[in-house]
Amino acid sequence: LQSRLPKVGTTIFTVMSALATERGAVNLGQGFPDFDCDPRIVDAVAQAMREGANQYPPMAGILPLRQAISSKVEAIYGHRYDADTEITVTAGATQGLLTSILAIVHPGDEVIVIEPNYDSYLPAIELAGGIPVFVTLEAPDYALPFDRLAAAITPRTRAIMINTPHNPTGTIWREADMRKLEAIVRDTQVLIVSDEVYEHMVYDGQRHESVSRYPELAARSLVVSSFGKTYHVTGWKIGYVAAPRALTAEFRKVHQFNVFTVNTPMQVGLARFMADPAPYLELPAFYQRKRDHFRAGLEHTRFRMLPSDGTYFQCVDYSAISDLPEAEFAKWLTTEIGVAAIPVSAFYHEPHESGIVRFCFAKKESTLDEALGRLAKL
């Protein structure tokens, strides 16, 4: 059988987590919390199951959850998505991204990808028959060259994929960036797929720049988010896509035959849990404490820290410690030092070495301290 995805192997996250387990390393590689979620959210889902919320929900998700999402987005970003026609509950952001791409990209369409990029984007574009066009963030601070982004647009460009806060670099877009994007796409038909799964993890009093804050951008965007990140339930695989009516209609045509719909009890539980905004409003302070604790510990190592303005990732330059390529260094760090990390090179489509690995700080303080103790040897 000729593969539809000949270049795809096992993801770096799975590889590094397996190696971490095998070697008993502290796993700061794959991005997921090692602490449990709020017990109230588990109770809400369990209660929904006991109440009999166990059959198919509507294709787009239960209305109370779509209404809760709509209210949250409007309260924070000032844009009202119609719960009925503009919000769809998805099986995590990954399905939201794949379905978005399949819904809008025709064979031969170009899709602009800003790299380093999350690993699910390219297979999604490839499955749709699209052609990825790369714009690379620039050293030393992963700045986006907007002139190159503008130059990458052709009559065949169907969409630009953006991601803020950004995995893996921890950078965020600011208002000036959004304004530049707005100007670049203004006289085009280009759509935007905006991956905002880390929307509630932005630090130092800065704000998340959702495309939904910008009416011109919102009108051409599919916004993808995930409850997994916000509520510490990455294993639940539930999220949503918000987009204007016409885009949502196309999205749902694919969604309907992709998953049809997403499990009912979690939707009922989440709709109830979302009534209280405190969990996501408190998230920046919660993760900022972890980030600051981790960074304070890294001061005692020879790693050079890059900024982490958002996400739960901290990138470090290890060139003072080793000249191994990133993937080799990450394996060495896991097996010899006992701390797993992710090579940033895994987020590029071609070999790209910059001597940087990514750590995830969504961990208990004791886990971070154990890792820092091991890293202090370096």
Binding partner selected for residue 33 from ligand GLN, ligand PMP, none, CB under the kind-specific 5 to 8 Å limit:
none
Which H or E run includes 144? none
Nearer to ligand PMP, 167 or 301 (CB): 167
134 - beta bridge partners? 113
- Residues 280-299, interacting with ligand GLN (CB under 6 A): none
Residue 342's SS3 state is strand
- The binding track of 13-32 with respect to ligand PMP, each residue x by CB under 6 A or -, is ------------------x-
Q: What would the DSSP string read from start to end of 155-185?
A: TTEEEEEEESSPTTT-----HHHHHHHHHHH
Neighbours of 155 (CB within 10 A): 7
Q: What burial class does residue 173 get, using C-beta atoms within 10 Å of its C-beta: 0-12 exposed, 13-18 middle, 19+ buried?
A: buried
- Residues 19-38, interacting with ligand GLN (CB under 6 A): 30-31
Pairing of strands 342-343, 87-90: unpaired
Nearer to ligand PMP, 255 or 338 (CB): 255
Among 68, 197, 341, 342, binds ligand PMP (CB under 6 A): 197
| Cβ atoms of residues 212 and 79 within 8 Å | yes
Q: Return all residues near 9 (Cβ < 8 A) that are at least 6 apart.
A: none
Give the shortest CB-367-to-ligand GLN separation in angstroms: 15
| Cβ atoms of residues 217 and 223 within 8 Å | no
Binding partner selected for residue 30 from ligand PMP, ligand GLN, none, CB under the kind-specific 5 to 8 Å limit:
ligand GLN
- The binding track of 151-190 with respect to ligand PMP, each residue x by CB under 6 A or -, is ------------x---x-----------------------
Q: d(Cα 226, Cα 292) in Å, to the nearest integer? A: 24
- Residues 205-244, interacting with ligand PMP (CB under 6 A): 226, 228, 234, 237, 239
Binding site for ligand GLN (CB under 6 A): 11, 13, 30-31, 167
Binding site for ligand PMP (CB under 6 A): 31, 92-94, 118, 163, 167, 195, 197, 226, 228, 234, 237, 239
